[in-house]
Each structure stands twice: as C-alpha cells, then as structure tokens.
C-alpha cells in the first residue's frame, strides 16, 4: 500500500495526477480507500476559472467531492464503522461548536471544511481521511456509484425540503442538469402531484421524462419571458405552488418568481452571477417567498434511504465512466457535455470491484 495517485488542481487549466503520501486518520476519522468520484459542475468551474465567488484557488488543491469509498483504517474513537465497510462520504463538516452547528444548520458554519472548496483538499485520490460521522455505511445492495451520487441527491433533498414540497405539490423545476434531475426525482418521491421541468436542451428533458417528469418544456435562449410564463401555466393548468431554479441563469431566477402562484415559494439553487436583476416588487406584492439553498445539512440519511428503498433511480444520471488515470479526459467530457454527458463518474478502483455481484 504505497500508491496514492491523486488529482491535484494547480491552477486554471492545470489539473495533474501525482503521487501524494497516504494520510493517517485521527482518532475520530477513518482512512478510506476511494472507489467512485463523480465530477460536479463546481469541479469544472475551478478548473476553468480558478474560483467560485469568494472561494479562490491560491494553492494546489485535490479535486473531487461526490464520492464513496471503503474503510481501510479506523481511528481509536470510531465506533460505528469497521474496516471493509462501504461508505458514502458527506464532503463538508462544520466546526461543531458555533450556533449554526449546534442548531444543526452546519452548512451555514463560517468554519466549514468542504472537500475541493479552496483551501480544502477533495477526494479524487486513492486514500483519503475523513471524520467518521460524515461517512454513511451503504447497505449491501447499494452500489458505490449510487453512494457517490448521494452528494448531488442531497442537494435535491435539501432544495425540496426548503421548498416544503409535499403531497399534492405542483412543482416547476428550471434546468434539467444533474441538480434539476435529482430535484425532480426527490420532489416526486416527496409526493408532488405534478412536476414540469424546463431546459434549453431536449436531450436533458428526455432523461427528465424517463425519470418521471409529467411535462417538459424546451425554452429557447432569449425567449420572451411573458411567453414562457404562459407556456408554463398552460402546462400546469394554472401557476405552480413552488418553483425550484436549478440553472442559475438570470432568466430562470426571474422566472422562478414570475411563474410561481401568489403565496407560493421560489427556491434558488442555481448559482450564477453574484448580482442578478429580479422582479422583486412582483414577488413581494404577491407574497412569493424567495428561499436560498446552500448545499445540504442532515440530508444524507434521507438521500440514502431514497436510494436504498429503491424508490428512485439515480443511476440513470451517469452517462460516462472513466478510470482515475483518465481524469483529464473525464473532465473534458464533463466540461463540454461530450456525448450528451450528464454525470461523469471516475473510478479510483476498477469499476464494480466493490459492487454487489
Ligand atoms: P448544469 O449546468 O449541468 O445544468 C444547468 C441546466 O440549466 C443545463 O442543462 C442548462 O441547459 C439549463 N439552462 C440554462 N439556461 C436555462 C434557461 N434559461 N431555462 C431553462 N434551463 C436552462 O449544472 P448542475 O450541475 O445541474 O447545477 C445547476 C446549478 O446549481 C448550477 O448553477 C450550480 O452552480 C448550482 N448548484 C448549487 C448548489 C447550492 O448549494 N446552491 C449546489 C450544487 C449546484
Ligand atoms: Zn460551526
């Protein structure tokens, strides 16, 4: 055990594979032999732009945060995990002592340590240490890829919880990328009675349809706002209770207010420009609540039970598989959406090594 091939982002357009020392777990940590790591839009964003808002890459950083692995060593205080356990890794944890952490809203902690958000290393590597309580043991029938997908799925769970999706909700989802799609399957499993999802790309809407969208709408870039609202209302036969923006374009942030019924809720998951022009008076005069979403907190358990119960199919999101040695090709595929890429999965160990037979 001395090979620790690791994908390190040195700067803009400078992603390298190199050997790193194998880390040693602290008392409350586990050492993980990594298995599957999905590429997220934010990983690509750091590669292309070197920053996301105030998070700036100032020193080399290991990339990757949508991950699963096998427990290889346990710290002396770890009770719930054993060597050989297959786990999903929740990539971010707070300081545990501030008001937010104590209240359970650790995603808002100022001292948050989050994989592959500068300056913290991610886990596209062969060996990685992580707090054991942020590792979730996978039941035997759940695959390692599904474990990795719990990360984006948790964003969908958090978004639907923030939107208070429930029995009979009518939900509009804007954007059918990985985040729009996980939000769709979560909203459906939480009891939404009608879900309409939009995108610029028909290919993504085709997947949305397969995953259970009631209606889909292709929007043309630059289409008239009033016209799009009309089309959406026609599909619902009225205005939706809740809109979840999973694109981050200014056009969809605006639509999430304009299309929602009075007294409803517009949830913003997509992150685009730091400042956006919104029809605020329209929102306040109709009491449309605007709610933000920042990652997730305490959502991994629900995401895992959705997958483990077989209620939802996240595997359909994976369109491409690569080995860790092919990391640059994997990023290229994700970045340019080659071959209709939705979720690109990188295998640190040969595919299916740790999957149910
Ligand atoms: P993605 O780029 O793969 O998907 C965005 C989709 O929106 C694309 O399919 C695109 O075609 C579509 N789109 C663009 N303009 C549109 C328009 N005018 N109308 C309808 N659809 C439109 O990205 P993703 O990985 O699915 O992530 C979605 C967004 O969520 C990103 O902005 C990302 O930064 C953000 N995000 C936020 C959080 C959070 O914690 N708030 C977490 C994860 C991702
Ligand atoms: Zn804290």
Tell me which residue has its CA closest to atom 11 in ligand 1: 200
The pLDDT value recorded for residue 2 is 83
Query: Which ligand is the nearest neighbour of the Cα of 102?
Result: 2
Q: Is the dihedral of CA 162, 167, 168, 174 positive or negative?
A: positive
Q: What is the mean pLDDT of residues 153-159?
A: 98
Strands 265-268 and 242-245, sheet pairing: parallel
Q: Give the angle 290-295-297 at the CA atoms, nearest 5°.
A: 100
Distance CA 174, CA 244 (A): 6
Phi, psi of 279 (to 5 degrees): -80, 70
**CB 248 near ligand 1, within 6 Å:** yes
Query: Which ligand is the nearest neighbour of the Cα of 98?
Result: 2
Distance CA 268, CA 243 (A): 8
**CB 155 near ligand 1, within 6 Å:** yes
The pLDDT value recorded for residue 197 is 98
Atom of ligand 1 nearest to the CA of 247: 7
pLDDT beyond 80 at 1: no
Q: CATH class for domain 5-137+314-347?
A: alpha beta
**Domain boundaries in the chain?**
5-137+314-347, 154-292
The pLDDT value recorded for residue 46 is 98
Q: Using only the alpha carbons of the chain, give its radius of gyration.
A: 20
The pLDDT value recorded for residue 222 is 87
The pLDDT value recorded for residue 325 is 98
Distance CA 242, CA 164 (A): 9
Distance 113 CA to ligand 2 centre (A): 10
The pLDDT value recorded for residue 311 is 85
Distance CA 181, CA 277 (A): 26
**CB 154 near ligand 1, within 6 Å:** no
Distance CA 341, CA 78 (A): 38
**CB 107 near ligand 1, within 6 Å:** no
Q: What is the mean pLDDT of residues 233-261?
A: 97
Distance CA 209, CA 215 (A): 7
pLDDT in tens, 274-300: 999 999 999 999 999 999 999 999 999
Q: What is the mean pLDDT of residues 106-135?
A: 98
14-37: b (≥16 Cβ within 10 Å) or e: ebeeeeeebbebeeebbbbbbbbb
Atom of ligand 1 nearest to the CA of 158: 40
> Which residues are close to ligand 2, an ion, with C-beta < 5 A?
94-95, 98, 101, 109
pLDDT in tens, 41-97: 999 999 999 999 899 999 999 999 999 999 999 999 999 999 999 999 999 999 999
In CATH, what number does 154-292 get?
A: 3.40.50.720
Residue indicated by tokens 């890794």: 89
Task: Enter the tokens of residue 128.
Answer: 């990685």
**CB 175 near ligand 1, within 6 Å:** yes
pLDDT beyond 80 at 252: yes
Full 3-state SS string of the chain: CCCCEEEEEEECCEEEEEECCCCCCCCCEEEEEEEEEECCHHHHHHHHHCEECCEECCCCEECCCEEEEEEEEECCCCCCCCCCCEEEECCEECCCCCHHHHCCCHHHCCCCEECCCCCCCCCCECEEEEEHHHEEECCCCCCHHHHHHHHHHHHHHHHHHHCCCCCCCEEEEECCCHHHHHHHHHHHHCCCCEEEEEECCHHHHHHHHHCCCCEEEECCCCCCHHHHHHHHHHHHCCCCCEEEECCCCHHHHHHHHHCCCCCCEEEECCCCCCCCCCCHHHHHHCCCEEEECCCCCCCHHHHHHHHHCCCCCCHHHEEEEEEHHHHHHHHHHHHHCHHHCCEEEEECCCCCCCCCC
Banded model confidence at residue 302, pLDDT cuts 50, 70, 90: very high
The mean predicted confidence, pLDDT, of the chain is: 97
Banded model confidence at residue 357, pLDDT cuts 50, 70, 90: confident
pLDDT in tens, 174-204: 999 999 999 999 999 999 999 999 999 999 9
Q: Which of 179, 183, 266, 293 to mutate to test the pocket of ligand 1 (most atoms within 8 A of CB)?
A: 179
Q: Which of 247, 259, 342 to mutate to test the pocket of ligand 1 (most atoms within 8 A of CB)?
A: 247
Q: What is the mean pLDDT of residues 7-21?
A: 98
pLDDT in tens, 204-228: 999 999 999 999 999 999 899 999 9
**CB 294 near ligand 1, within 6 Å:** yes
**CB 271 near ligand 1, within 6 Å:** yes
Q: Is 2 exposed, middle or buried (0-12, 13-18, 19+ CB in 10 A)?
A: exposed
Banded model confidence at residue 269, pLDDT cuts 50, 70, 90: very high
**CB 92 near ligand 1, within 6 Å:** no
**CB 173 near ligand 1, within 6 Å:** no
Distance CA 53, CA 158 (A): 22
């Amino acid at each position: 055990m001395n090979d620790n091939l690791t994908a390190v982002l040195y700067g803009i357009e400078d992603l390298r594979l190199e050997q790193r020392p194998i880390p040693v777990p602290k008392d409350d940590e586990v050492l993980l032999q990594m298995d599957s790591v999905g590429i997220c839009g934010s990983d690509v964003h750091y590669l292309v732009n070197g920053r996301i808002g105030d998070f700036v890459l100032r020193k080399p950083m290991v990339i990757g945060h949508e991950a699963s692995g096998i427990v290889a060593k346990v710290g002396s205080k770890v009770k719930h995990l054993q060597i050989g356990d297959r786990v999903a890794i929740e990539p971010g944890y707070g300081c545990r002592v501030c008001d937010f952490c104590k209240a359970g809203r650790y995603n808002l902690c100022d001292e948050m340590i989050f994989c592959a958000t500068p300056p913290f290393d991610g886990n596209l590597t062969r060996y990685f240490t992580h707090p054991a309580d942020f590792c979730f043991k996978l039941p035997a029938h759940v695959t390692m890829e599904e474990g990795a997908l719990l990360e984006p799925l948790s964003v969908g769970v958090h978004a639907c919880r923030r939107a208070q999706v429930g029995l009979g909700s009518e939900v509009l989802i804007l954007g059918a990328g990985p985040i729009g799609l996980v939000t769709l399957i979560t909203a459906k499993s939480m009891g939404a009675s009608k879900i309409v999802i939009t995108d610029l790309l028909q290919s993504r809407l085709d997947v949305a349809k397969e995953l259970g969208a009631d209606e889909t709408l292709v929007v043309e870039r630059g289409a008239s706002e009033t016209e799009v609202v009309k089309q959406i209302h026609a599909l619902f036969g009225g205005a939706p209770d809740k809109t979840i923006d999973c694109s981050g374009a200014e056009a969809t942030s605006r639509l999430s207010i304009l299309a929602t019924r009075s007294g409803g809720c517009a949830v913003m998951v997509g992150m685009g420009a730091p400042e956006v022009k919104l029809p605020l008076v329209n929102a306040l005069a109709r009491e449309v609540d605007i709610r933000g979403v920042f990652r997730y907190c305490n959502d991994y358990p629900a995401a895992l039970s959705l997958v483990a119960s077989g209620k939802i199919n996240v595997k359909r999101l994976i369109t491409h598989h690569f080995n860790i040695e092919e990391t640059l090709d994997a990023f290229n595929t994700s970045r340019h959406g080659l071959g209709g890429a939705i979720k690109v999965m990188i295998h640190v160990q040969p595919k299916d090594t740790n999957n149910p037979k």
